[in-house]
Amino acid sequence: MSLELRGITKTFGLFTANDSIDLKVEAGKIHAILGENGAGKSTLMNIVYGLLKADSGEIFVDGKLQNISEPSDALSAGIGMVHQHFMLIPVFTVAENIVLGHEKIGKFGVLDIAAAREAIIKVSKDFGFSVDPDAIVETLPVGIQQKVEIIRALIYEAKVLILDEPTAVLTPQETDELLKTMQELKRKGTAIIFITHKLREVRAVADEITIIRRGKVIAAVSPSTSEGELASMMVGREVDLAPDRQEHEIGEPILVANNLSVRNVSGTEVVKKINFELRAGEVLAVAGVQGNGQSELARAIVNLEDHVEGSLLLDGHEIRGLSIYDSLHAGIAYIPESRELDGLVSSFSIAENLILDLHDQAPYASGINLSAKVVSEQAEKHVLEFDIRLQSVSDAVSTLSGGNKQKVVIARELSRPVKVLIASQPTRGLDVGSIEFVHERILGERDAGRGVLLFSTELDEVLALADRIAVMYRGEIIEIVDSNVSKEELGLLMAGVVNEKAVS
Ligand SMILES: Nc1ncnc2c1ncn2[C@@H]1O[C@H](COP(=O)(O)OP(=O)(O)OP(=O)(O)O)[C@@H](O)[C@H]1O
Ligand SMILES: [Mg+2]
């Protein structure tokens, strides 16, 4: 089946998010869409999937004009979508998520969970996914949650599959699996729209590439186009993909962990008596395959985890057990792994989110009221400096594109006077131009004498920024190496192999 969009236009107030977009996606092809943060990619896809209504334009499936006004219309027309921010209901099971809200399509009888379970098991088997239909979605790792969205599309027999930044939250291994699944679907004749900021993935699987900038299609190019060329076409300027890291003097330990342990809700020790010293003026990266305790360690440092033991000294003062608020005010900037869960209050305005943890302090507060003028002036400053694409700082932060939400968190956290920066997956969802900028800023923090603890599953990012690299494996730091380690060595360490021996 093919999909054709003609003249799709979508405005939000005075702002044109999609400007007369034409796009043709053929059966059995992977069509990549590239574009900077806020270019209009998700908006366009949400229109195709019936989540947003276009102001004008037409959608054809196999040459037939479709009237798509809600997702069930899209699914009936054979269009499935995996969202940038998953649309699953966390407290429901996998099977319930696949049935509920789609009763109209008539695939399953009303609340026919048993039939859905069987369908899930069959699709999982066909594609080699291991997904338990009875698992509660919120207990599943993101990689599996994403498979649930793919399974839903497959069960409803999507012949056009939209993947909106599906790899942003995946490990490299999960990414490889997904790319293989995409190639298999392509062989079976599915038309795939693939949105990603990772140029290497595009060059690996795409048959066609369309580049969107500021709501307009600006080019269609072949996958043999170099990464550098793709990058500059996306953002409209040259992008330096490798930041400059100057050698400099490293200072005294500023954040010291002694026998730090974290247990999860079920009592399992996920961080096991960890010791490290982060020094002023250095970037210490924590590398590891996702799920080896890094997320819990990062959260524990800002006291977001409940079951923590051991000691954590910030500039000589014990901070373990403080509230999150007091931790941040003790001198920690925190870029959380999940901007949606821990970084933003989605119903607050962009301006409010830009000062979230400073709202009770001068110059923002006067008495108990926020000084609206100062708040919005400060916000405007951040917006310019961090190139946050928006209509008005008083809009809800939920109206921003994924990458621009991330920039709000980064702008806020990098603008506070702190001693230490804890950055967890700081460039997740950012376009190449913004990654370059954020990398420079992180190195700027280091050069200004702050300690930076960087958690990243992107090896290239770790190697580009780190002075030293601590490798986490099964809740422990199994080795700390310096930054001239090779990618291969680092890969082996991450797999738990130290000195050619597996860690037991
Ligand atoms: N509901 C809304 N109200 C106002 N503006 C919106 C709304 N939804 C999207 N926008 C604006 O439309 C623009 C395009 O957003 P979109 O989410 O399509 O970008 P994107 O290309 O997917 O970016 P990213 O790579 O960051 O995900 C953004 O500037 C965003 O602020
Ligand atoms: Mg998007």
Return the best residue to mutate from 12, 83, 164, 216 for the ligand 1 pocket (most ligand atoms within 8 A of CB): 12
Strand-pairing partners, residue 286, are 455, 470
What is the rounded distance in angstroms from the CA atom of residue 136 to the CA atom of residue 120? 14
User: Regarding predicted confidence, which is higher, 77 or 290?
Assistant: 77
**Ligand 1 contact, 400 CB (< 6 A):** yes
Distance from residue 39's CA to the centre of ligand 1 (Å): 7
**Residue keyed to tokens 């034409």:** 22
**Ligand 1 contact, 404 CB (< 6 A):** yes
Return the best residue to mutate from 14, 399, 432 for the ligand 1 pocket (most ligand atoms within 8 A of CB): 399
Q: Which domains does the chain have, with CATH numbers?
A: 3-235 (3.40.50.300), 253-338+403-502 (3.40.50.300)
Distance from residue 131's CA to the centre of ligand 1 (Å): 32
The ligand that comes nearest to the alpha carbon of residue 431 is 1
pLDDT of residue 106: 63
Distance from residue 69's CA to the centre of ligand 2 (Å): 20
**Ligand 1 contact, 403 CB (< 6 A):** yes
What is the rounded distance in angstroms from the CA atom of residue 323 to the CA atom of residue 290? 26
- Pick from 2-16, 343-357, 424-438, 458-472: least confident: 343-357
- Pick from 52-61, 223-232, 493-502: least confident: 493-502
What is the rounded distance in angstroms from the CA atom of residue 50 to the CA atom of residue 104? 14
**Ligand 1 contact, 39 CB (< 6 A):** yes
The ligand that comes nearest to the alpha carbon of residue 83 is 2
Q: Which atom of ligand 1 is nearest to the CA of 404?
A: 26
Q: Which atom of ligand 1 is nearest to the CA of 35?
A: 21
- Whether the predicted pLDDT of 299 surpasses 90: yes
- Whether the predicted pLDDT of 84 surpasses 90: no
The ligand that comes nearest to the alpha carbon of residue 403 is 1
Choose among 101, 95, 90, 91: nearest CA to 114. Answer: 95
Distance from residue 348's CA to the centre of ligand 2 (Å): 20
> What backbone phi and psi angles, to 5 degrees, belong to 409?
-60, -45
Distance from residue 40's CA to the centre of ligand 1 (Å): 6
**Ligand 1 contact, 389 CB (< 6 A):** yes
Q: Which atom of ligand 1 is nearest to the CA of 431?
A: 25
What is the rounded distance in angstroms from the CA atom of residue 420 to the CA atom of residue 311? 16
Distance from residue 396's CA to the centre of ligand 1 (Å): 12
3-state secondary structure of 245: coil
> What backbone phi and psi angles, to 5 degrees, belong to 70?
-155, 165
- Pick from 170-174, 361-365, 480-484: least confident: 361-365
pLDDT of residue 343: 85
- In Å, how far are 119, 294, 417 from 320, measured between CA atoms? 48, 17, 20
Report DSSP state, residue 457: S
Q: What is the mean pLDDT of residues 328-355?
A: 89
CB 193 within 8 A of CB 224: no
Mean pLDDT of the residues in the chain: 89
Task: Specify the residue with its C-alpha closest to ligand 1, atom 13.
Answer: 38
Choose among 273, 270, 272, 260: nearest CA to 292. Answer: 270
Q: Which atom of ligand 1 is nearest to the CA of 395?
A: 4
Q: Which atom of ligand 1 is nearest to the CA of 46?
A: 18
- Whether the predicted pLDDT of 114 surpasses 80: yes
Output the 3-class SS for 262-316. Answer: EECCCCCEEEEEEEEEEECCCEEEEECCCCCCHHHHHHHHCCCCCEEEEEEEECC
Return the best residue to mutate from 49, 218, 401, 430 for the ligand 1 pocket (most ligand atoms within 8 A of CB): 401
Distance from residue 400's CA to the centre of ligand 1 (Å): 5
- Whether the predicted pLDDT of 405 surpasses 70: yes
Q: In percent, how much of the chain has pLDDT > 90? A: 62
On the CB side of 200, CA atoms within 13 Å amount to: 8
Q: Which atom of ligand 1 is nearest to the CA of 36?
A: 25
Widest pairwise Cα distance in the chain: 69
pLDDT of residue 365: 46
The ligand that comes nearest to the alpha carbon of residue 164 is 2
pLDDT tens readout for residues 443-462: 999 999 999 999 998 888 99
Distance from residue 164's CA to the centre of ligand 2 (Å): 7
Task: Specify the residue with its C-alpha closest to ligand 1, atom 9.
Answer: 399
**Ligand 1 contact, 42 CB (< 6 A):** yes
pTM (predicted TM-score): 0.87
Choose among 44, 59, 69, 74: nearest CA to 152. Answer: 74
Distance from residue 52's CA to the centre of ligand 2 (Å): 14
To the nearest 10 degrees (0 to 180), the angle between helices 142-155 and 113-127 is: 110
- In Å, how far are 240, 254, 442 from 246, measured between CA atoms? 16, 21, 13
To the nearest 10 degrees (0 to 180), the angle between helices 227-235 and 432-447 is: 90
